Amino acid sequence: MTTVTLDALDLSALLCSRVCHDVISPVGAIVNGLEVLEDEDSAEMRDFALDLIRKSAKQASARLQFARIAFGAAGSAGSSIDLADAENVARGMFGDEKTQLSWSAPRALFPKNKVKLLLNLVVIAVTAIPRGGVIDVKVTGEAEGALFVLTAKGTHARIPAHVETLIAGTPAGGTVDAHAIQPFYAGLVARAAEMDVRFSIDGDTVTIRAEAAAPSVPPASAETNAETDDNGI
């Protein structure tokens, strides 16, 4: 299959669309809450509005903090991100009643692209259990040889449609839209981090495994083969 590439303008536009999609719902709820405060004299309704504003503001903040690391240039002054920061934003984004997040990782600085990949894989793990469940994130090994294993367990678990081809950069139809940009971007980050991503499913558990990409072995040159034949080996 043909590998799809996006120019910088298309990639940035699609990622911006994705972030706006994530943030617009809680921001809209804040606006609704403010309108209730302006129009209602009922103490009960005003308390409801304040609670809505409080929860929605917290949710919007969590989504923006997550996007800042997963999609943005967080910590651009350096080339590493603390895994503890990644855990904090992941818990803020996904730690709710529907999804339980378990996180096991060293408290260490990891290369930026590896941390971005890890967070993007958490997003994909969440979509693998549409009815909620438990996501277990494990990071082992040193930064350069890190192994990420994410398991998503829940009813109706499935490997998200087209996610494997999107991560490989070979989407069906040869196009990428705003709905598909996140796994496509995860594939770009994986290649930048020199990591391979693999999926498997067993019953109600989806496993996502990311590890250092195997080095490519160049084919032997004709000259080398000729020398081997001359030596009779």
pLDDT at 230 exceeding the cut of 80: no
How long, in residues, is the chain?
Answer: 233
Report pLDDT for 215: 74
pLDDT tens for residues 64-86? 999 999 998 765 556 899 999 99
Fold exhibited by the domain 8-212? Heat Shock Protein 90 (3.30.565)
Report pLDDT for 142: 87
CB distance 83 to 110 below 8 Å = yes
Q: Please, which pLDDT band fits residue 7 given cuts at 50, 70 and 90? A: very high
Report pLDDT for 74: 66
pLDDT tens for residues 84-118? 999 999 999 987 778 999 999 998 999 999 999 99
Would you list the domain boundaries of the chain? 8-212
pLDDT at 225 exceeding the cut of 60: no
pLDDT tens for residues 181-201? 999 999 999 999 999 999 999
Report pLDDT for 27: 95
The share of the chain scoring above pLDDT 90, in percent, equals 73
Report pLDDT for 95: 75
Average pLDDT over residues 117-136: 96
Q: How far apart are CA 83 and CA 118, in angstroms?
A: 10
Taking Cα atoms as reference points, which of 181, 192, 160, 155 lies closest to residue 10? Answer: 181
Taking Cα atoms as reference points, which of 229, 139, 123 lies closest to residue 184? Answer: 123
pLDDT at 136 exceeding the cut of 90: yes
pLDDT at 50 exceeding the cut of 80: yes
Bigger pLDDT: 216 or 143? 143
Buried-state track 141-169, b at ≥16 Cβ within 10 A, e below 16:
eeeeebebbbbbbbeebebbebbebbbbb
Report pLDDT for 144: 84
Q: Name the residue type at position 124.
A: I
Say which range, 26-35, 93-102, 176-185, has the weakest mean pLDDT.
93-102
Report pLDDT for 219: 56
